[in-house]
Copies of this chain bind each other. A is one copy, B any other.
Amino acid sequence: MKVEIFSSYIMKLLCACNTGYKMARPQTDIDAGRTTLLEVVDDLVRKRGAVDISMTDLAAAAGMSPSNLYRFFDNKEALLEAVAERFFAEKVRIMVDVTESDLPVQDKMYQFFARRYLAMVEQYEAEPDLLKSYLEIGQQYFEVVRGYVDLGDHYLSLIVAEAMELGYFEGLSIDEAVSLINQMVQCYTNPDALFFVGTTKLRVEKLATIIETIFRGLGKKSSAHTLAQPHIRIVS
């Protein structure tokens, strides 16, 4: 169908998903410590917003020595990856669940976006400022977030491939369809939209209509109609 070339990071994420969403790690005390430390990170972000958090800050806030902190996270990069893993955990679980489900393909795509959107709304309604700060941190360290964006595209491409086998999205490649679909549902995947569009205008019922529109209308069916290009036709 399509040769997927994954970075080592996304491969690691995919492996993590297939083994119950956790890195293989037998030390349960280390796991528990990491979870507690990530809650301390939440508190620091709540207090200080999206300012950079150093390992020293975190150790101080957790009341432990920096050397003790390094037992839990090898370095700041490992800490940031753990923060991202926790931030995206539920969304990854939803993507795996929906992709593996036996729903009809259009329902599958709808659930794929709607359930993650609702999870995002929950985060937003519980603590909008905390979400906003984490989004800013995510922009600062986009290389860590990148893997999760790619992971979303990977799962969406599985659903698109399934739809194509049923005759949908004719004449488009999987990548083209994935890109167009991502653009058309952007408001429901980009958490910033919660702040600038708002949950009054963003509704899963509208998302359902958008997914229906995509399944009915997306594809290069033979059509005599060609759109006038803006750089050719200038209406003066």
Interface residues of A (CB under 8 A from B): 97-98, 101, 103, 106-107, 110-111, 114-115, 118, 139, 179-180, 183-184, 186-187, 190, 192-193, 196-197, 201-202, 204, 206, 208-218, 220-221, 223, 225, 227-231, 233, 235-236
A218 cross-chain contacts in B, Cβ below 8 A: 209, 213, 217
A139: shortest Cβ distance to chain B, in Å?
8
Select the residue from A98, A101, A103, A217 with max chain B CB neighbours within 10 A.
A217
A218 to B210, CA, bound (A): 8
Closest to A192 in B: B192
Q: Could you tell me if B227 and A208 are in contact, using CB atoms closer than 8 angstroms? A: yes
A179 to B198, CA, bound (A): 13
Q: Could you tell me if B103 and A228 are in contact, using CB atoms closer than 8 angstroms? A: yes
A216: shortest Cβ distance to chain B, in Å?
3
Closest to A177 in B: B209
A110 cross-chain contacts in B, Cβ below 8 A: 227-228, 230
Select the residue from A139, A180, A183, A220 with max chain B CB neighbours within 10 A.
A183
A192 cross-chain contacts in B, Cβ below 8 A: 192, 196
What are 21 A-to-B residue pairs whose CB atoms are below 8 Å? A101-B235, A110-B227, A110-B230, A114-B230, A115-B235, A139-B196, A183-B187, A183-B206, A183-B210, A186-B187, A186-B193, A190-B196, A192-B192, A192-B196, A204-B229, A204-B231, A209-B218, A212-B227, A213-B218, A215-B217, A217-B218
A214 to B180, CA, bound (A): 12
